[in-house]
Chains A and B, each alone.
Chain A
């Protein structure tokens, strides 16, 4: 297992573009702190984002895991290209001839996916902790470490997304087209959702119930947007008479759906590799 990770580490560390993307990704996560300094001056009203309570524990776990997850596209590029480059350099063939089994090949890639998600999660945990302690109004231990399930959901979400990218890299063999396919798939899911929700099953929950099993929808359901949870937004909604009633929680079955997708993607990748001639 360590050997497989070492192999992948060796492949990635000398690739300049992969190095730049990975470093950019982690720097951008730390830049979440910069949101704190956003200020608007609308006439007499001064609006500071930091004062809106976004860095309060435990809300910050939710907020940061949502924002940080937006940046996952940087690592997605790294993962897609680390798969498809093996095809375009034809090194996958040489790897197999040199004595890596097909199972080991997929395993080494999946372990890399896990490591990327794991390091992102630990990194996010530390950044959030520091940010929280600097800005939060509450710093009691019991409050600080509540709602930690968002961190778990973040890890599962990233693993699911990266496993999807890994599969696309193998399926399509060209990084640009694989990323393009990812976008097309995202559009497909939202169109399908629209059609089901507003046409086929109008006025019922059926569309949502079906769509939660689709990979990207399942991943985005894990950490839903945190903005409407802010006091300011809630207050504004109340003023115009609307009521925001949204489920922000994380449910076990949502985690399970994404974990199931992870297995499906890994096994489909292995299946493709076994079936294809190189």
Chain B
């Protein structure tokens, strides 16, 4: 069974990276390997240009993997103090980080009394204790209610705005779309795409148009040099662009040719559509 196969990518300082893939695609395994808790059969990884050993590098990294793991019988503050000891940093940061995730008033409650959302936020606080250069988050919003998801995303955004590099694994497309600047898409352990989020499919978007005289509309669109494929969908024409063009231009063009539109919108494929497109392509291939 191969969980991750010939996957390779690199991340650069200051960006927010997403690792996107369906459940069981090897996201956690990949992160487990670079964090030294899953043994790799072959290949290599390097931290910080390869100048530091993994053991030392991990002290400059903050990471949470899947479930928040803490000692249930210890309080939030005691757990974080222990993490400080392991990372070899000063205990003074404990309260500051609890404040960031909004748990300061619960610092003396035992971990086992926490809700999942609170556990997850405590895990983020713990990952931040050493002011990491890279923050690795594996499905940080998994299993949370909408409010909890919102809180976590706000925290991530706050951290990202401070210049910390973030590597976020998720199967949620809108999460990656909302939070990340770059994305690596994997499926069954194989890389499908890596690069900026908005360039996943080299598409210039498409127009959806409607007019009283649909035949004339189609005729005119087919004549336009920048428009490629045209499809008819539920009484609406979808015209895919081959070169960038704004909605005003197509509107003006059609009006100059004596056609006025009753409906016009310019859209880009959502990440979800692009993602499905990407994963399906390889499924057939």
> Would A97 and B65 be within 8 Å (CB), given that A6-B85, A89-B72, A275-B39 are in contact?
yes
Q: Which residues of A contact B37 (CB under 8 A)?
A: 93, 96-97, 277-278
| A135-174 near B? 1/0 per residue, CB < 8 Å | 0000000000000000000000000000000000000000
| B30-72 near A? 1/0 per residue, CB < 8 Å | 0010011111000000000000000100110001110101111
The number of residue pairs between A and B whose CB atoms lie closer than 8 Å in the complex comes to 69
| B196-213 near A? 1/0 per residue, CB < 8 Å | 000000000000000000
Q: How far is the CB of A92 from chain B (nearest CB, A)?
A: 8
- Whether B35 lies near A277 (C-beta < 8 A) is no
Distance of A97 Cα from B86 Cα, bound (Å): 10
Q: How far is the CB of B82 from chain A (nearest CB, A)?
A: 5
Q: Which residues of A contact B74 (CB under 8 A)?
A: 14
* Chain A residue nearest in CB terms to B123: A94
Distance of A275 Cα from B38 Cα, bound (Å): 9
- Whether B71 lies near A91 (C-beta < 8 A) is yes
Q: Among the listed B59, B70, B85, which residue makes an inter-chain contact with A89, where contact means beta carbons less than 8 Å apart? A: B70
> Would A10 and B82 be within 8 Å (CB), given that A277-B38, A278-B38 are in contact?
yes
Distance of A200 Cα from B251 Cα, bound (Å): 100
Q: B81 an interface residue at 8 Å Cβ cutoff? A: yes
Distance of A274 Cα from B55 Cα, bound (Å): 14
Q: How far is the CB of B61 from chain A (nearest CB, A)?
A: 8
| Interface 9-mer from A28-36, A60-68, A98-106, A208-216 | A98-106
Q: B87 an interface residue at 8 Å Cβ cutoff? A: yes
- Whether B55 lies near A101 (C-beta < 8 A) is yes
The size of the chain B interface, using a CB distance under 8 A, is: 29
- Whether A99 lies near B69 (C-beta < 8 A) is no
- Whether B71 lies near A89 (C-beta < 8 A) is yes
Most chain-B Cβ atoms within 10 A of its Cβ — which of A90, A91, A94, A96? A94
- Whether A99 lies near B82 (C-beta < 8 A) is no
- Whether B73 lies near A100 (C-beta < 8 A) is no
Q: Which residues of A contact B279 (CB under 8 A)?
A: none
Q: How far is the CB of A235 from chain B (nearest CB, A)?
A: 54
Interface residues of A in 6-48 (CB under 8 A from B): 6-7, 10-11, 14-16
Interface size bracket, A side: 20 to 34
Distance of A6 Cα from B126 Cα, bound (Å): 18
Distance of A15 Cα from B65 Cα, bound (Å): 24
Q: Which residues of B contact A100 (CB under 8 A)?
A: 86
> Would A98 and B87 be within 8 Å (CB), given that A10-B82, A91-B71 are in contact?
yes
| B237-258 near A? 1/0 per residue, CB < 8 Å | 0000000000000000000000
Distance of A97 Cα from B68 Cα, bound (Å): 12
- Whether A14 lies near B71 (C-beta < 8 A) is yes
Q: How far is the CB of B91 from chain A (nearest CB, A)?
A: 11
Q: A3 an interface residue at 8 Å Cβ cutoff? A: yes
Q: How far is the CB of A79 from chain B (nearest CB, A)?
A: 17
Q: Which residues of A contact B36 (CB under 8 A)?
A: 96-97
- Whether B78 lies near A14 (C-beta < 8 A) is yes
Q: How far is the CB of B67 from chain A (nearest CB, A)?
A: 7
Q: How far is the CB of A29 from chain B (nearest CB, A)?
A: 26
> Would A96 and B69 be within 8 Å (CB), given that A7-B86, A101-B55 are in contact?
no
Q: Which residues of B contact A277 (CB under 8 A)?
A: 32, 37-39
- Whether A96 lies near B35 (C-beta < 8 A) is yes
Supply 12 further A-B pairs (C-beta < 8 A) apart from A97-B65, A98-B83. A3-B85, A6-B85, A11-B71, A14-B71, A14-B78, A89-B71, A89-B72, A90-B69, A91-B69, A93-B37, A98-B86, A99-B87
Q: List 22 A-B contacts (CB under 8 A).
A: A7-B86, A10-B81, A11-B71, A14-B71, A14-B75, A89-B69, A89-B70, A89-B71, A89-B72, A91-B71, A93-B37, A93-B65, A96-B35, A97-B37, A97-B65, A98-B86, A98-B126, A99-B58, A99-B86, A274-B39, A277-B32, A278-B37
Interfacial residues, chain B to chain A (CB-CB below 8 A): 32, 35-39, 55, 58-59, 63-65, 67, 69-75, 78, 81-83, 85-88, 126
